[in-house]
Amino acid sequence: MTIGVLVSGTGTNLQALLDAGLPVRAVASNRRDAPALERVPHLPTAAFELDDYGSRAERDAAMAAWLEAQGVELVVLAGYMHILTPAFLERFPERVLNVHPSLLPDFPGAHAVADQLAAGVAQSGVTVHIVDDGVDTGPIVLQERVPVLDGDTVETLHARIKDVEHRLLPAAVEELLCAR
Ligand code: GAR
């Protein structure tokens, strides 16, 4: 199964997928300047900025069409920070996977690590799940706890969470590929 990855940031999770030898064939972003895109000079890449389209649905339809044209069958959100509309999800039914830095359903959203520290939780974690049309909802594929340590900052906690993500995300993708 051919994989397309969506990114918005630094792309360390994209790197983990590549390092695991998974069949990543195309990478797209909502940001032309996403550093993650620089990790894949050997692959087709494209940026779909909201400002270039009349609506979010139009942008998502264009992004889905581009991924399909690259032969993508499974989409992995690796630090992709926009909500996907039905215009995208309908093209890849139950074939979009997301990695999130908390024990979902707790702490969805774009600031999960800071939110967990502010709430004073003892346990953070990583969740890999199938994407539906909610915000960080959908069936969980894999989940693992990450303890919060005394003196943790957003940076130190997020770094330890990412270490787990880099193992859990490729494992979840492999599980899905084997199941299909
Ligand atoms: C990761 O920690 C990922 O879980 C998070 O963004 C980071 C991206 O890092 N995603 C979300 O918060 C989605 N709600 P990366 O660009 O280095 O892979």
φ, ψ dihedrals at 66, nearest 5°: -65, -45
Domain count, the chain: 1
- Tens digits of residue pLDDT in 70-109: 999 999 999 999 999 999 999 999 999 999 999 999 999 9
Residue 95 is assigned to a structural domain of this protein: yes
The reported pLDDT for the residue numbered 180 is 77
Q: Please enumerate in sequence order all residues whose Cβ is within 8 A of that of 137, keeping only pairs 6 or more positions apart, or say none.
A: 104, 105, 108, 129
pLDDT at 179: 87
Residue 148 CA, chain-centre distance (Å), reads: 22
The CATH number of whichever domain residue 137 belongs to comes to 3.40.50.170
The span from the CA of 99 to the CA of 33, in Å, is: 21
The CA-based angle 27-96-44, given to 5 degrees, is 15
Evaluate whether 126 touches 104 at the Cβ level (below 8 Å). Answer: no
Give the binding-site residues of ligand 1, using a 6 Å CB cut-off.
9-13, 36, 78-79, 99-101, 110, 112, 136, 162, 165
Q: Is residue 119 part of a domain?
A: no
Separation of CA 58 and ligand 1 centre (Å): 24
Backbone angles phi, psi at 144, to 5 degrees: -145, 140
> Which range marks the domain in which residue 72 is found?
3-100+127-145+169-179
* Nearest CA owner, ligand 1 atom 9: 79
Weakly modelled stretches of the chain, pLDDT under 50? none
Look at residue 174 in the predicted model and tell me its pLDDT: 97
Q: Is 158 known to be catalytic?
A: no
Q: Are 78 and 11 in contact (CB under 8 A)?
A: yes
